A and B are shown apart, each in its own frame.
Chain A
Amino acid sequence: MLVAGIKSRPLYKGLTIEPHAKRHIFALEGEGALALIDQKAALDLTILSRSEILYVARGSKGKGHDTTLLGLGTDVFWTAPTIATLLSRLKALLATAHMGVRLYVAGTEGFIGQAMMVGLDHGMDSASIITEHRGSLARRVQCVHCKGINEEVTASPFTCSHCGLTLLVRDHYSRRLGAFQGVNIDAEDPGSAPDPEELFL
């Protein structure tokens, strides 16, 4: 059960390398590594020498994407243990960055949303951040009632891990939060919610 057709749903156009950029920052999560690896042919020496990869393996641990990324030969390759560490490194990079730097983000929607927010916070225009969705369709959902953020939501309805309400996942996406909205579905008659469907695997 999904409330579809809402315009705020982001579109991920796919990774393409911006040939004129003075610095390329790739923030990659899990299968998002493949989005860059697939661009290998476009990565010439100039681009590689201007590129910096921030990678967090998460669900793709053990698939060897880190070795492949390292093998690309970018100027900087750095792996983060968690998304939070990756994001704080990204913040530090952007805080001193100049115009001409391009940010590329690939991975799950929740990750893209959070990395985009860092970009927006540093004055980047959302349309200029290059994104590609890879890996699970799991969503980052904010409960509109208790405001708690639920990571890795794959089913709708689901139970809010903060307040316990049964939430319907809407397609309504907040750029400011980098999250979808979850709205209580059985407020009138608790327990009457339909069975959860795995919609975002």
Chain B
Amino acid sequence: MSGGREIPVRVTKVTPVAERIKRFRFERLDGKPLPYFSGGAHVIVSMNDFGHIRRNAYSLMSPPHDCAAYEISVLHVEGSRGGSTFMHERVKEGDEMNVSYPVNLFQPDWRARKHLLIAGGIGITPFMAMMEQFTREGANFELHYAMRTRDRSAYWKELAERYGSQRIKIYCDAEGMTMPLDRLLDSQLLGTHLYVCGPSGMIDGVLRAGMEAGWPEQNLHSERFLSSLPGKPFTVELVRSGKTVRVGHHESMLEAIEAAGVDASFLCRGGACGQCETEVVNCDGKLLHHDVYLNDEEKAAGRKVMICVSRFEGKTLHLDL
């Protein structure tokens, strides 16, 4: 598998945090410390679902300096393809699993004068680790956290207690509160960097508002992991390995290719990093690009595809794998 080496871990704690949200704590089987990571990093968790391997990316939320364990939080997604259901229904304390080495695609810019964090729902998790690190480094930050209802949202109470109401602002939909985004964007001192993580629509909205408020794109950072959408089954021919792979309704191309024993590289499995970029040798039909990595031109050209989230409809698809 080409997401880097994996680390065998034991699930040492499973904590229900809010409705449909659970926190998982992983410690190394060999008792050694886990590798350091930096705030914003994620790991890929491998789940062995009766021999079928599922892999999902989760942001690390534990304090980055604490190498005794990694912690993640998992939202049980409605209409989940299986990963979050597996984590919620099948993973118990004491279980053994594998996690990848941490990768950070959501690195804070350490030159920033101030870090403005905007979280929506479960998008809070990367910021938990970031805020620990900001605090240790004495960096200036502020978190604005939007949620639907308080009982379905994680960590808002702990965060307000830990960092104070000056730094943590909560906006609860159900209580009719909205984030005053425009005012926030207009009132930041020069040298502020903004980070947003949450539902796709929210990320798009915040980035758009940032550009419209005259912020340079260099100061706007976001992280989103897309999940591969279900769709019609199809077949891919792998030119180099000479295999024909059937991609099921709920499967991603990457998962099907891995299951066929072919190594493909990845880092995020969420259409964001570009690591799984694969050359299209021949395509008679339509590529359904679901990633946010390729630009519109590249998508239209159809010579590359991000196999972690994209699909295909048509007659034949030959990939350089």
Q: Does A97 contact B (CB under 8 A)?
A: yes
> How many Å from the CB of B211 to the closest CB on chain A?
6
Closest-by-CB residue of B relative to A97 is: B190
Most interface-central of B109, B211, B212, B213 (chain A CB within 10 A) = B213
Closest-by-CB residue of B relative to A123 is: B191
Chain B: number of interface residues, binned into ranges? 20 to 34
Closest-by-CB residue of B relative to A23 is: B214
Q: Does B301 contact A (CB under 8 A)?
A: no
CB–CB A99/B218 < 8 A: no
Chain A residues in 8 Å Cβ range of B187: 98
Q: Does A66 contact B (CB under 8 A)?
A: no
Closest-by-CB residue of A relative to B112 is: A123
Chain B residues in 8 Å Cβ range of A21: 214
Chain A residues in 8 Å Cβ range of B214: 18, 20-23, 99-102
CB–CB B192/A127 < 8 A: no
Residues of B within 8 A of A (CB): 109, 111-113, 185-192, 211-219
Q: Which of A115-143 contact B (CB under 8 A)?
A: 122-125, 127-128
CB–CB A122/B191 < 8 A: yes
CB–CB A100/B211 < 8 A: no
How many cross-chain pairs have Cβ atoms below 8 Å apart between A and B?
61
Going nearest first, the 6 A-B pairs with the smallest beta carbon separation are A123-B191, A128-B216, A100-B214, A125-B218, A21-B214, A123-B113
Known: A100-B185, A127-B218. A122 touches B212 (CB 8 A): no
Q: Which of A87-115 contact B (CB under 8 A)?
A: 94, 97-102
CB–CB A98/B216 < 8 A: no
Known: A99-B219, A100-B185. A124 touches B190 (CB 8 A): yes
A173–B62 alpha-carbon span in the complex (Å): 41
Give which listed residue, B186, B188, B189, B219, contacts A125 with CB less than 8 A: B219
Chain B residues in 8 Å Cβ range of A124: 190-191
CB–CB B191/A100 < 8 A: no
Give which listed residue, A18, A20, A123, A127, contacts B190 with CB less than 8 A: A123
